[in-house]
Structure 1
Amino acid sequence: MKFKFNLLSLIILITFSNCQNDNHNSDLPHDSSFYIDYRSLKGLPDGIAVIELDPEAPNFGHISSQLELGIGVLPHHLYYNQSANKLFTTALGGSYLYQIKTEKDKNGQPKLVNATPIDTGENTVGENLFFTNDGRYFMTFMGGAGGPRDGSIGVFNANNNQLIKTIKAPIQTNPNQFIMYPHGISVNEEKGIMMVTSTIHPDLTTGMGNTCTLLDLNTYELKETYLVADSQTDMSSPVEVLLLRGKFPQYALATTMLGGDIWIAPYNAATKKYDAFSKIFDGSTQGLGWALEMYIDDNSRLYVSFADPGKVLVFDISNLPQLKLLKTLTADKGAHHMVFFKTKKGKEVVAVQNNLLDIPNLNSGTISVIEIETGKTLGTVDLRTKYGILPESIEGTNGPSSYMHH
């Protein structure tokens, strides 16, 4: 399994990167140190931290650097830009989007310096980012301008972080093609398309979604809104979407948060859209719920986190639409984001961040480090007990720590 580049590949990556979401991490000093977004459980400011996650390291679980963002900011997702030389975090509160400045100390250890808020206009509740090769990035805003059935996509200039355009398509205007509560986003630049999910109102009660919407990447026009649920009344809450691209079979994959399932749609070259979504994996048949994140390695293996009861399932996607389950890894309740790396002894591991929005029974507040080959948990960091914080997301300190995510 190849989750990492060597140093030469990193240099090539930074110079000629194709897409932030299709990169490996690098074999550099301290590449078992990771950035985490966190929320305070003590009424203190939320922020970002650097933590060591190699169970074989003497300082396993130690936080070496912290950057406070503010009380109630709730940083949510960490992202690198497409050339992996800028770090960002989205946020559910505060300014919703920040660029993070980092440095290396005299030992080459990553250090957090400051955060610069980015103006998101009227757009609220920042969720996912996607950087494209043409100098843009796209951001989903689950709250939109704040209405009960709102939601928007911000288009930004990647060079100066200026908001270029806000894409809005209210369900009230067209119930057949709309953007509402967007969370997940994925882009296929070669095909000139992007897709966003319709998940849930930010207060988790006002409304829920059960669709994904396909847009033209350049005109921003909506092409189709797809049902990703058993019925129109099944509020499945699609949370993440992944448009497979490059060498992978040309399908769209989506996870449903409240459905607990994985859905698939084939790309149709004639219509230049996807055909209808169908359920490819039913979590309830396996005692699983709250399907969340998807990651793919370069050996056509798909890793999907299920927050309830806290599992990561590994599938073979080389023969889609057949999805073959290879193994099940046990994390903790709230299993969510992942990073991939090698321990000092060369073991291939996945670190799983176990917390979803501090929702009861889905908020273990731990990070599980699991050996992929054996499924053995090599170490667990209990951030709730040790630091009084809950991890919200996780990312590498030497660049993206997965091959393909969104």
Structure 2
Amino acid sequence: MKLNLNGVFLFVTLVIFTSCLNEHDPNHSNDSSFYIDYRSLKGLSDGIAVIELDPEAPNFGNISSRLELGVGVLPHHIYYNQNANKMFTTALGGSYLYEIQTGKDQNGLPKLIDATPIDTGENTVGENLFFTNDGRYFMTFMGGAGGPKDGSIGVFNANNNQLIKTIKAPIQANPNQFIMYPHGISINEEKGLMMVTSTIHPDLTTGLGNTCTLLDLNTYEIKETYRVADTPTDMSAPVEVLLLRGKFPQYALSTTMIGGDIWIAPYNPATKKYDAFTKLFDGSSQGLGWALEMYIDDSNKLYVSFADPGKVLVFDLSNLPQLKLLKTFDADKGAHHMAFFKTKSGKEVVAVQNNLLDLPNLNSGTISVIDINTGKTLGTVDLRNRYGILPESIEGTNGPSNYMHH
């Protein structure tokens, strides 16, 4: 048998070259690099940073780029537009909404370049965004124009960031159909419906909400305001809402911040609205409080963060309205936003940002990286002690780091 040494040499060379390419592939690095909004604990500027979150990387926890937005800006949620070619952050202070310009550094890694403030009109305290396929995006303003029972939704042109309309519906005008302290937002474009939550006054003391409000996506008229609480006086503070769509069963889900629960409402094709909300999961009975974010993967699993005591619960969505608990992950106090990715060796992980508005006992200031299959914490970044900052939110540098968020 005669060996073709030239062929063997070529094959070995190709394997080594491919291995070297993979080892230094900047795209892999990007997959584990994330943008975080942060607040300074030292009285310095708040801003956005790029951080490495793969525990297997030698630079795990390192910040490679920062963009300062200003003292007291408090950037809050990072979003991509529909095509993931523009990135935005909302903010509780400052200009309330910014478009963020990014690029690459000399090593091909993500780099933050600049922030462009967007005029939000009279609307204050920016919370959540939702981009639709028709060139609009919607933004909740928990502070509205600044009144004690205020709140609004801004409608923007996605091409030029111009404010098209401000949707207002004061509770003083109609106590049965209103928008107040809106935080969470979700849209089902196929059904032409939008829903927002009523959470809490921005000063965290003036007032609380306990409702979700359904609106027509095109006329902006209110269709119904739903109580998401055990009683009219139970101020549960619904924080996020998710209108399930596409391949998922057609329900609305909401988390309650003070209640610590998950609520559900079925879509009714006859009325073209949702029926009443009922409690689906009682967090307090499980020793859980401050239910916050909801994320869904592409295999019918729902991830919900509970800031107190700092857990992520994983549920099976396959048999709604029954919700089966599959796993419980330990994070840190203030467990909040999540990002999903694979480590260099292929482990499926979720990064959990542990901080809620720097509230006492809900402000660990860490990011936990948890193996989704084993539930083991593979690494923790302590931003409070390492950098003197608290993470406010988290998002991927290659586009959205989740399948469905809201």
TM-score grouping bracket, smaller chain normalisation: over 0.9
Match of residue 300 from structure 2:
300
The reply on whether 1:136 has 2:136 as its aligned counterpart is yes
CA distance in 1, matches of 2:220, 2:361: 39
The reply on whether 1:189 has 2:189 as its aligned counterpart is yes
Q: TM-score, normalising length from structure 1?
A: 0.93
List alignment gaps of at least 5 residues for structure 2.
1-25
Q: Which secondary structure state, in structure 2, belongs to the residue aligned with residue 200 of structure 1?
A: coil
> Could you tell me which amino acid in structure 1 is paired with residue 334 of structure 2?
G
Match of residue 245 from structure 2:
245
Match of residue 19 from structure 1:
none
The reply on whether 1:91 has 2:91 as its aligned counterpart is yes
CA distance in 2, matches of 1:28, 1:151: 41
CA distance in 2, matches of 1:155, 1:252: 22
> Could you tell me which amino acid in structure 1 is paired with residue 228 of structure 2?
V
| Aligned positions of 1:56-71 closer than 5 A | 56-71=56-71
Match of residue 391 from structure 1:
391
User: Which is higher, the Rg of structure 1 or of structure 2?
Assistant: 2
Q: CA contact under 8 A between 2:28 and 2:344: conserved in structure 1?
A: no
User: CA shift at 1:107, angstroms?
Assistant: 2.0
Q: Which secondary structure state, in structure 2, belongs to the residue aligned with residue 44 of structure 1?
A: coil
Q: Provide Cα deviations, 1:130-166, integer angstroms capped at 9, x if missing partner.
A: 0000000000000000000000000000000000000
CA distance in 2, matches of 1:176, 1:133: 31
Match of residue 284 from structure 1:
284
Q: Larger relative contact order (C-alpha < 8 A, sep ≥ 6)?
A: 1
Q: How many residues align?
A: 381
Q: Provide Cα deviations, 1:344-389, integer angstroms capped at 9, x if missing partner.
A: 0100000000000000000000000000100000000000000000
Q: CA RMSD in A?
A: 0.8
CA distance in 2, matches of 1:30, 1:294: 24
Q: Which secondary structure state, in structure 1, belongs to the residue aligned with residue 285 of structure 2?
A: helix
Q: Which secondary structure state, in structure 2, belongs to the residue aligned with residue 230 of structure 1?
A: coil
Q: CA contact under 8 A between 1:28 and 1:398: conserved in structure 2?
A: no
Match of residue 164 from structure 1:
164
Match of residue 325 from structure 1:
325
Match of residue 204 from structure 1:
204
Match of residue 336 from structure 1:
336
> Could you tell me which amino acid in structure 2 is paired with residue 353 of structure 1?
Q
Q: Which secondary structure state, in structure 2, belongs to the residue aligned with residue 285 of structure 1?
A: helix
User: CA shift at 1:104, angstroms?
Assistant: 1.0
CA distance in 1, matches of 2:27, 2:125: 34
List alignment gaps of at least 5 residues for structure 1.
1-25
User: CA shift at 1:30, angstroms?
Assistant: 1.8
Match of residue 266 from structure 1:
266
Q: CA contact under 8 A between 1:96 and 1:125: conserved in structure 2?
A: yes
> Could you tell me which amino acid in structure 2 is paired with residue 35 of structure 1?
Y
User: CA shift at 1:29, angstroms?
Assistant: 4.2
User: CA shift at 1:192, angstroms?
Assistant: 0.2
Q: Alpha carbons of 1:347 and 1:90: their partners in 2 closer, same or farther (altered >3 Å)?
A: same
Match of residue 10 from structure 2:
none
> Could you tell me which amino acid in structure 1 is paired with residue 140 of structure 2?
T
CA distance in 2, matches of 1:215, 1:384: 40
Q: CA contact under 8 A between 1:291 and 1:304: conserved in structure 2?
A: yes
Match of residue 226 from structure 1:
226
User: CA shift at 1:106, angstroms?
Assistant: 2.7
CA distance in 1, matches of 2:363, 2:381: 14
Match of residue 17 from structure 1:
none
Runs of 4+ in 1 over 4 A off after TM superposition: 26-29
CA distance in 2, matches of 1:327, 1:55: 22
Q: Provide Cα deviations, 1:99-119, integer angstroms capped at 9, x if missing partner.
A: 000001232200000000000
CA distance in 1, matches of 2:135, 2:105: 30
> Could you tell me which amino acid in structure 1 is paired with residue 274 of structure 2?
Y
Q: CA contact under 8 A between 2:187 and 2:243: conserved in structure 1?
A: yes
Q: Which secondary structure state, in structure 1, belongs to the residue aligned with residue 191 of structure 2?
A: coil
CA distance in 2, matches of 1:86, 1:282: 38
Q: Which secondary structure state, in structure 2, belongs to the residue aligned with residue 30 of structure 1?
A: helix
CA distance in 2, matches of 1:339, 1:219: 34
Q: Alpha carbons of 1:161 and 1:213: their partners in 2 closer, same or farther (altered >3 Å)?
A: same
